[in-house]
Amino acid sequence: MIQEVKVTGTRIGVLIGKGGGTKRELEEKTKTTLSVDSKEGIVQVTGEDAPLVLRAMEVVQAISRGFSPERAFVLLDDEDLLLDMIDLSGLTDSPRQLDRLRGRIIGKDGRSREQIEHMTDCEISVSGKTVALIGLPEQIKTARSAVEMLLEGLPHEVVFGFLERKRREAKHDAIDYYY
């Protein structure tokens, strides 16, 4: 099975890693071969095991969307983890407006992004015209809702209140599940 993905030029080096270490580690862990065309930014993933090829593709996409290799590799640790992306390009034509939207998600000194990560147990990367999320399906659903609320212009306090409510519900559901 062969899959191709375009990787942002500035992220090719991160994907390859120092001395090719990141690329080699991904190939070993997924039993795949990565062919990188750094001029075109095309990465080809080849392998016999389709699920592993697709998982390697997700890791490549995660790195391309701004995650560090360490954060992207968590996708290999748990088959239930997903990579989800929110496209910001259709929300505005203005680069200034796009910066403002990204700034709302990231927050001052990255605190807003960290708070959403902490409250949802998701990994979040805001890069270019996308917001990428790594987490379990229910966590991603909650984190995505929070990000969309910020993009709609809701105050941060409202969004964090929503996340706190979701966290209490999840805790309550977990308690009900055990009893």
CB-neighbour burial class of residue 61 (10 A; exposed 0-12, middle 13-18, buried 19+): buried
* Strand bridging mode 130-135 / 123-127: antiparallel
Last residue within a domain, chosen from 77, 112, 128: 77
Per-residue pLDDT of 59-97, as tens digits, reads: 999 999 999 999 999 999 888 999 999 999 888 778 898
Per-residue pLDDT of 114-162, as tens digits, reads: 999 999 999 999 988 999 999 999 999 999 999 999 999 999 999 999 9
Residue 41: name the closest of 6, 1, 80, 88 by CA: 6
In this structure, are 115 and 158 located in the same domain?
Answer: yes
49 vs 52: CA distance, rounded Å: 5
How high does pLDDT run on average in the chain? 90
In this structure, are 166 and 102 located in the same domain?
Answer: yes
What is the domain count for the chain? 2
Residue 134: name the closest of 88, 65, 87 by CA: 65
Dihedral angle of Cα 125, 131, 135, 140, to the nearest 10 degrees: 150
In this structure, are 102 and 173 located in the same domain?
Answer: yes
* Parent domain of 89: 82-178
In this structure, are 89 and 171 located in the same domain?
Answer: yes
In this structure, are 56 and 37 located in the same domain?
Answer: yes
Confidence band, pLDDT 50/70/90 cuts, at residue 104 = very high
Asked if the model's pLDDT at residue 167 lies above 60, the reply is yes
In this structure, are 18 and 59 located in the same domain?
Answer: yes
Q: What are the angstrom distances between the C-alpha of 142 and each of 60, 73, 159?
A: 24, 22, 11
Which residues does 141 contact at the CB level (< 8 Å), separation at least 6?
none
pTM for this structure?
0.85
Confidence band, pLDDT 50/70/90 cuts, at residue 22 = very high
Structure confidence at residue 146 (pLDDT): 95
In this structure, are 96 and 166 located in the same domain?
Answer: yes
Confidence band, pLDDT 50/70/90 cuts, at residue 176 = low
Residue 61: name the closest of 1, 133, 7 by CA: 7
Last residue within a domain, chosen from 77, 94, 122: 77
